[in-house]
């Protein structure tokens, strides 16, 4: 039987999708990952179960950090949240609607900033908005605002190759923020940066997250980075990838305080959670590797 359809903000939804959407809005759920399994077939014809039965409710304004050993399926999960890949089983609902393809409501920040070398930084920041059909005047104003937000107000007329790695990452973040997504998906965005730049950018991201009230899903290999940023840390285990722990982080943070990183690190709760999460990642792993 074909369910009747209703149109909501230009999207066609079935009645049951409308009911789910209303419930998610009532409960403040931004993204609902429901029983997601993902299998790949390798070129040799073998089947790999990258994720099995992942269930996770991401609330609006959550800052989720996902940690886990290499190969546990973090990027696979992010790719499905972005709509780049489809689950083999289960489904992902974002803003009440099943995710079937990429959407500007979900911005993606990659480890390597995909900036266009022939465009200035300002034009790069405007690019996503141009794709959305934002009029030139508004594009200009929003680009100026977000370049300011990420501390690149003076770099708008430069080209990406004239920027440091940290500045390029800031430009990418400005480009994503300027498209005004509900959810920002970040795949190890600071993995390639030196420790000091990384700390600065983490603080900046916390401030932006507090100000703009976005929902963030952030992959990292660093437990310390996760504890510095997250409202919830999700620990995943491998073969097949699944959620092992969901840990709320209750450490007070103030990104407007330049001494915030040291204060957070020296909080006894930080050290306790770091040990607990590190143990969870590596126990039963059969080796002593530590990151």
Ligand X SMILES: Nc1ncnc2c1ncn2[C@@H]1O[C@H](COP(=O)(O)OP(=O)(O)OP(=O)(O)O)[C@@H](O)[C@H]1O
Length of the chain: 291
> Applying CB under 6 A, does 242 fall inside the site for ligand X?
no
> Applying CB under 6 A, does 73 fall inside the site for ligand X?
yes
- For strands 47-59 and 89-94, give the pairing: unpaired
Report residue 194: phi and psi, to 5°.
Answer: -70, 165
> Applying CB under 6 A, does 113 fall inside the site for ligand X?
no
- Residue placing its CB nearer to ligand X in the complex, 76 or 172: 76
- Residue placing its CB nearer to ligand X in the complex, 66 or 95: 66
One residue of 76, 168, 215, 220 binding ligand X per CB under 6 A: 76
- Residue placing its CB nearer to ligand X in the complex, 221 or 263: 221
> Applying CB under 6 A, does 107 fall inside the site for ligand X?
no
> Applying CB under 6 A, does 75 fall inside the site for ligand X?
yes
> Applying CB under 6 A, does 143 fall inside the site for ligand X?
no
- CA–CA gap between residue 264 and residue 283 (Å, rounded): 26
Residue 127: CA count within 13 A, CB half-sphere: 18
- Residue placing its CB nearer to ligand X in the complex, 15 or 40: 40
One residue of 28, 35, 71, 114 binding ligand X per CB under 6 A: 71
> Applying CB under 6 A, does 289 fall inside the site for ligand X?
no
For tokens 């200035």, the residue is 120
Angle at 265 between CA 109 and CA 269, to 5 degrees: 105
- SS3 letters across 239-255: CCEEEEEEEECCCCCCC
CA dihedral sign, ordered 201, 205, 207, 212 = positive
Angle at 249 between CA 97 and CA 264, to 5 degrees: 130
Binding mask 43-62 for ligand X (x = CB under 6 A): -----x-x------------
- Residue placing its CB nearer to ligand X in the complex, 14 or 49: 49
The residue ranges that bind ligand X (CB under 6 A) are 40, 42, 48, 50, 68, 70-76, 241
């Amino acid at each position: 039987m074909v369910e009747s359809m209703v149109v909501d903000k230009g999207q066609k939804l079935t009645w049951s999708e409308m009911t789910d959407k209303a419930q998610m809005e009532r409960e403040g759920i931004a993204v609902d990952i429901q029983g997601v399994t993902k299998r790949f077939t390798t070129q040799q014809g073998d089947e790999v179960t990258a994720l099995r039965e992942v269930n996770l409710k991401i609330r609006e304004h959550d800052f989720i950090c996902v940690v886990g050993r290499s190969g546990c399926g973090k990027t696979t999960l992010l790719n499905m949240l972005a709509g780049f890949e489809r689950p083999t089983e289960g489904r992902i609902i974002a803003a009440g609607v099943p995710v079937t393809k990429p959407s500007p409501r979900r911005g993606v920040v990659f480890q390597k900033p995909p900036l266009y070398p022939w465009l200035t930084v300002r034009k790069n920041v405007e690019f996503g908005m141009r794709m959305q059909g934002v009029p030139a005047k508004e594009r200009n104003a929003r680009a100026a605002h977000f370049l300011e937000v990420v501390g690149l107000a003076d770099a708008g007329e430069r080209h990406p190759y004239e920027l440091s790695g940290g500045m390029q990452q800031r430009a990418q973040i400005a480009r994503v923020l300027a498209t005004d997504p509900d959810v920002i998906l970040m795949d190890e965005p600071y993995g390639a940066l030196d420790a000091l730049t990384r700390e600065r950018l983490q603080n900046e991201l916390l401030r932006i997250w507090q100000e703009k009230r976005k929902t963030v899903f952030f992959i990292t290999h660093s437990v310390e980075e996760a504890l510095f940023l997250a409202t919830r840390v999700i620990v995943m285990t491998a073969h097949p990838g699944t959620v092992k722990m969901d840990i709320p982080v209750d450490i007070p943070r103030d990104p407007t305080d330049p001494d915030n990183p040291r204060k957070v690190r020296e909080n006894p709760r930080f050290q306790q959670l770091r040990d607990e999460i590190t143990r969870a990642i590596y126990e039963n792993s059969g080796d002593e590797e530590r990151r």
